[in-house]
Structure 1
Amino acid sequence: MKIGKVPENVLKRAVFKQIHHRRQEVLLHPGVGEDCAAVAPEQGEVFVLSTDPITGADKQMGVFAVHITANDLATAGAEPIGILSSIILPPETEEQDLRRIMSELEQACDELQIEILGGHTEVSDAVNRPVITVTGVGKVARGDLLSTGGMQPGDELVMTKWAGLEGSAIIAAEKRDVLEQTLPAHLIDTAESFLKHISVVPEAKIAMQHGVHAMHDVTEGGIFGALWEMGAASGVGIVADLDKIPIRQETIELCEVFDINPYLLISSGCMLIGCENGNLLVDRLQDAGIPAAVIGRATEGNDRVIRSGEETRFLEPAGSDELYKIYE
């Protein structure tokens, strides 16, 4: 496609025809010439907003884009309503590529029963592969709003699912040709299927029913980065047990191929929850079919550490995610 705005006829075929309207809160929907969306909350509710870019994935990037933003909203206790998407495409992009991205966005929105509220689509030589930026809109009762900084000393830390979830799915999808040289196909298939677990909206709903103090989704920087961020946001120390952090064997084997530390690997689909009674919450999550474990606790002070037997490692702020090693 030519550089500039995507032509109107392509927009109608590849974009607007795929968008479905699901939410009564949405008053103004996307269309040619529409510059804004309009959403109306109920009395006593507040809007929660979040934005994320997707740059580290190609396959299923539309699915990642929706769920990652919805996950951010869920950590605040909010119910997602919809998204606005900005899609920047390189000049060699064909209409079918845009149609695929929109299909992925709509697929994820359907799973969450939310809407595409609006956005922008453009072709530019400033990028060499598609870039999607999604802004999510959610709502929550004013008194139920949570922040990542709400954890208190003595709170237990519950982790859902397993470390490296999203990164494993991306590596399996993007680097199958390399992986198949040393790993069996069924292991790679299983890792790629982790994508179906990427939403943390279900566990957030359960957690909100049990008086949690804080939630944080585990994204770039992996579980080690997320533990640091949660402690820093709350102004507390963290003590976590490495042996209690759930991780799949598929993730370990994929990471060995690229010399990746799986605990520093992007892990959307995994959530950290600070609460008083972690074991009770774990039981409730497992009753709903969501794997979870108590992996540590919040402490007084500022030390944030991982323990493994007699060894102690001090956590640090997240740097570049380990995922990017696969592109080197």
Structure 2
Amino acid sequence: MKTGRITDTILDRSVFKNIRKSKDKKNTYFGIGRDAAVINKKFNYVVSANATLGDYGIKNQIFFEIKRAIYSAYTNVYAECGIPKYLSMNIYLPVKTLENELKSIVTYIDEVANDLNLCITGGNTRVSANVNNILIDFNVIGDFVYDEILSYKDIIEEDMDIVLTGKIALSGTYLIVKEKYDELRKRYSKSYLDEVLEVENVLDVSIEMKEAFDRNVRIFHDVSKGGIYAALSRISKALNKGVICDLDKIPMMQQSVEVTEFFSLNPYKLLSDGAMLMVTKDGNDLCRAINEKNREAIVIGKIKNDNEKVFIKNGEKHYIEPPKYDEILNVFEV
């Protein structure tokens, strides 16, 4: 396709016609001649989050990376106590991109959005000589679930529980296995590796978040880039408190242990989409409720009044050093 804004014909044929429109007549959404969406709100606050496809340059996994990016923005809205409702996107395409590629991408985005009950409100689609790979920026907006916004200092107390939902290192392990499958098959069986490929469907945190909101939990952080070490470091900084965590309690697939060992990676610093940190007074009650929904949750640590970020491994105390980058960058050339 030619550089610049794509033509209205292509826009209508390969973008708009592949996105389901909301049946809500009170709002206006995308369309030729429409410059923005208008949403009739009954809540006082909205939550907005962004995520970008293309930051790791993993060219062969574009559809999983699209899903991961949408889920990332979706999860970040939940992490700020929002219920995700709307999705918009900016798509930047290399000149070499074919219209059929655009059509398949938009169709897939629509499928993911539909699975998450997200209404696509619009976006921008351009062909640019300045990009070598497809780049998509997603924005998710949601409704704030509580009546008022409280600062962390009004909520946080020493010895509050740190709950982890899901397993760490899953999405990173998935991407590595998909890209390095033949190399890994020299050591591991097909059935063993194929178990990892099923984790594509465990990125959704909505069930866990509903149980947390029902218990008035307000402090969350998604475990994504940089893994659990980065997430614990960030939540400690946001709360201006210390954390102590038992690494032996943190769940991960055995495949994550072995794949990271195979490539000399630290699984605690590896991409972990689908996992979430929650801080609450009664972590056991929250975990019990989530477990009853057949989802994973476990208390892994406590909030402390000092600023130390500590983990316990095999009974020994260590300090958490926030990773400078995600371990997956040691596998893929960007």
8 A Cα contact 1:151 1:213, kept in partner: no
Identical aligned pairs, as a percentage? 29
1:32 aligns with 2:37: no
1:271-304 Cα shifts (integer Å, max 9, x gaps):
0000011111111001111111110010111001
Structure 1 residues 70 and 26, CA gap change in structure 2 (3 angstroms): farther
Mapped partners of 1:25, 1:318: distance in 2? 47
Q: 1:242 and 2:241 equivalent?
A: no
Count residues with an aligned counterpart.
Answer: 327
* Residue 67 (1) aligns with residue 71 (2): yes
- The answer for the alignment partner of 1:156 in structure 2 is 161
Output the CA distance in 1 between the equivalents of 2:151 and 2:91. 29
Are 1:231 and 2:218 an aligned pair?
Answer: no
Answering whether residue 187 of structure 2 is matched by residue 188 of structure 1, we say: no
Structure 1 stretches of at least 4 aligned residues deviating more than 6 Å after TM superposition:
146-149
**Contact 1:265/1:323 (CA < 8 Å) preserved in 2?**
yes
Residue of structure 2 in register with 1:256 after alignment: 261
Task: Map 1:151-300 to 2 at 5 A.
Answer: 151-300=156-305
**Residue aligning to 1:304:** 309
What TM-score do the two structures reach when normalised by structure 2? 0.91
In the alignment, the residues of structure 1 paired with residue 225 and residue 151 of structure 2 have an alpha-carbon distance, to the nearest angstrom, of 19
Contact in 2 for aligned 1:165/1:198 (Cα 8 Å):
no
CA change 1:188–1:33 in 2 (3 A) is farther
How far 1:179 moved relative to its partner? 2.6
Among 138, 142, 146, the residue aligned to 2:142? 138
Structure 1 contact 45–142 (Cα < 8 Å) conserved: no
TM-score by length of structure 1 reads 0.93
After TM superposition, give the deviation of residue 310 of structure 1 in Å. Answer: 3.4
1:21 aligns with 2:21: yes
What displacement does 1:73 show? 0.5
Query: Equivalent residues in 2 for 1:71-110 (5 A)?
Result: 71-110=75-114
Q: CA deviation at 1:158?
A: 0.6
User: 2-side partners of 1:79 and 1:7: how far apart?
Assistant: 34
Counterparts in 2 of 1:63 and 1:144: CA distance versus 1, 3 Å: farther
The more displaced of 118-127 and 6-15 is: 6-15
- In 2, the alpha carbon distance for the partners of 1:182 and 1:81 equals 44
The residue aligned with 2:118 is 114
Q: Structure 1, residues 11-55: CA drift from partner, whole Å, max 9, x if none?
A: 22221111113363871211123221111211x431111111122
- The more displaced of 313-322 and 129-138 is 313-322
Structure 1 range deviating more: 275-284 or 193-202: 193-202
Q: Determine the structure 1 residue equivalent to 2:47.
A: 48
For 1:152 and 1:192, the matched residues in 2 are separated by 40
- Structure 1: gaps spanning 5 or more residues: none
